[in-house]
Chain A
Amino acid sequence: MFEIFKTLEFTPFLLSFKLASITTLILFMVSLPLAWYLSQTKSKLKAFIEAITALPIVLPPSVLGFYILWAFSQNSLLGVFFEDTFGISLAFSFTGLVVASCFYSLPFMVQPLQGGFEALNKNMLEASYISGKSKLETIFRVALPNMKPALLTATIVTFAHTVGEFGVVLMVGGSIPNETKVASVAIYEMVEVMDYDSAHIYSLLMLMMSFMVLLSVYMFNQKHSHRVGIR
């Protein structure tokens, strides 16, 4: 029984976590200003931006994957630009996978952050402005410390969602070992070649990790739900 662990390749798992970590980090930095803007603006653009941000939730991953692949290819200006300036081919590479994941997981970062900002007491933010503090200082010293559950939900769910993606990864990255073959793709291949033992182990590991992650998020949020600063 344990023989199989010795022969089993764990690089796909490491690749999945590397991809998820980088994606979460980039998305956090990109989404913070975007979520703040959406939470504060009264502009008509808001609905438009919100709709675009939410698209990856409703679009089939194959549609998203197809457009991204097309954008990365030598037929598009973006693909040519990256190839010429950085010498990077985005399609079927890890870098391309990171870019694709950032699009795919964007709503899972933006929406909890925006919700967190919107739930903050407006008077509290105004009290900070009146105290002479800039918007930036208010965000980091008043807003973010008072929305820890939202911060946790955003980062953990984005991470977990990126680990769990399959369709977009398969289309944009293919299945190149040590480069784009992440855990979910590896499981797909194992099933295809009828290596059910390995598929079982991989799947069970995924299942347990996902459950533990979600459980810890919900437990933390339950513990902090009585915290005010929110009304």
Chain B
Amino acid sequence: MINIDINKKLHGSLGEMDLSVKLNIKEGEFVALWGKSGSGKTTLLRILAGLEEAEGSVDVFGESWLNSKKSLAPQKREIGYIFQDYALFPNMSVEENLLFVAKDRVLAKHLLEVTELTDLSKRLPNTLSGGQQQRVSICRALMKRPKLLLMDEPLSALDPSMRTKLQNEILKLHKEFNTTTIMVSHDPSEMYRLASRVLVLEQGELVADGEPKDILLKTQGSQKFSFEGELLDIRKVDVIFVAIVSIGQQLVEVVVSSLEAKELRVGQSVRVSTKSFAPMIL
């Protein structure tokens, strides 16, 4: 069990705020951390990694990493950390990046096989694509067989198809190593696929904690579909108004009444839902 009870004053974009998190995480859990930017997600990860100071306590499987008397150095915490920008060592080959962490050739070979990087093991990181680099970084983070794996938006810099591929690999590795994991993410589908639990952080406080389907599926009542999107434009077509809404990577047209059209502002965040149609999946 990991027990976290920390406090830190932050100077965020919205002025001063208190990051105050009290949390228990079971061994082997895959926790997704969700929230707007500036809500303190990355700071929470950095506190757990020992990269930033905080008040309070962090106990990890019976070992105290942080209490009122001491704060264990990042070097002594058994963690893996995956950065959004990979943060590989450019002067070392893929293989050397892994062996830098631990001289465990068997594990390095295995990780490179799982992530299909064996052929690239002698290459320098700068010669690899973003997706390949992030796979190296995931392997590197697992080389120490960490007790806690922290991922800060690991896939947000990648394109959607590469993201799906890496999600599968992360899932595969999580099943094999059973490493307790905390992942910061903005992508609901990613959290749904990977996480066993979703936490929502708002202004430094946990406002929701539960299973992915309870937190992420937002349909209410008799709604069948409900999508969040951005209103791009409202056009008048004859006597009706058509709103153009961007949902994910798609643009959709929705008919709105003149009254609704008056209240809507271009650029605002809207929810599009339908009730009584039977959906077709093609």
Contacts and interface: CB of A to CB of B under 8 A. Distances in A.
Nearest to A142: B89
B52 to A, nearest CB: 10
A124 interface: yes
Contact of A130 (B80, B85, B90): B80
Interface size class of A (residues with CB under 8 A): 20 to 34
A167 B18 CA distance: 57
Contacts of A130: 49, 51, 74-75, 77, 79-81
Interface in A139-175: 141-142, 145-146
Nearest to B81: A130
B87 A227 contact: no
Contacts of B74: 126, 129-130
A73 to B, nearest CB: 48
A229 interface: yes
A134 interface: yes
A7 B25 CA distance: 84
B85 A127 contact: no
Given A123-B87, A130-B49, A228 B100 contact: no
Given A121-B85, A129-B74, A141-B100, A228 B79 contact: no
- Among B49, B73, B90, chain A packs the most CB atoms within 10 A around the CB of B90
A145 B100 CA distance: 14
Contacts of B73: 129
Contacts of B88: 124, 127
Nearest to A134: B75
Contacts of A123: 83, 85, 87
B126 interface: yes
B45 to A, nearest CB: 11
A128 interface: yes
Given A123-B83, A126-B51, A127-B81, A132 B89 contact: no
Nearest to A123: B87
Contact of B87 (A121, A133, A134, A141): A121
B75 A227 contact: no
A6 interface: no
A228 B85 contact: no
A68 B266 CA distance: 69
B101 interface: yes
A123 to B, nearest CB: 4
A75 interface: no
A121 B83 CA distance: 11
B213 to A, nearest CB: 33
A132 B91 contact: no
Nearest to B51: A126
13 contacts: A121-B87, A124-B88, A126-B74, A126-B83, A127-B81, A127-B87, A130-B51, A130-B79, A131-B143, A132-B101, A146-B91, A227-B90, A229-B90
9 tightest Cβ-Cβ pairs between the two chains A and B: A123-B87, A229-B90, A145-B91, A131-B101, A123-B83, A127-B87, A129-B74, A124-B87, A130-B81
Interface of B: 49, 51, 73-77, 79-81, 83, 85, 87-91, 100-101, 125-126, 140, 143-144
